[in-house]
Amino acid sequence: MVTNASPLIFLVKIELLPLLSNCFTQVLAPPAVVAETGLDLPDFIQCRQLSEVGDAFVRGALGTLHRGELEAMVLAREQGIDLVAIDDKAARTRAGQLGLKPIGTLGLIVLAQRLGHLDSSTAMTKVDELVDVHGLYLSTKVRQQIRWQLGASFT
């Protein structure tokens, strides 16, 4: 998986960043993402440079999306990785147009729960914390869908 900054930042805030190492054999982040987080990232998150062509593409596309989002998508394509962690709606749409599979912070929590790394109650508590304490915008409809998804795997 290749990640953008916001999933890393949100997972750190709710103390779930280590779950990424349980869910994925490889977690990559491009340089702009590492710089944007301002975090001392754990060793399991590897910073990878873009190719010269990829870097040129990012420079030419700036303004449509943020550098970190663009670098994450380009790195995923260059590495042959289809899953990219991005929260921004426009960036997720663009990732899909590029043939990538976007997953957001909430999707990462649901995945961790389904893989058995979080129980349903803890997962929902962490989702609530993201929304109520850390300012992740979530519509009432999506929040209900997340509650259903987290409970559905135990019914």
Q: How do residues 17-62 score in pLDDT, each as one tens digit?
A: 999 999 999 999 999 999 999 999 999 999 999 999 999 999 988 8
Q: Which residue is associated with the tokens 């409809």?
A: 141
Does this model's pTM top 0.85? My answer is yes
Cα distances (Å, whole numbers) of residue 92 to 18, 49, 83, 101, 129: 23, 21, 11, 8, 23
Q: How do residues 74-101 score in pLDDT, each as one tens digit?
A: 999 999 999 999 999 999 999 999 999 9
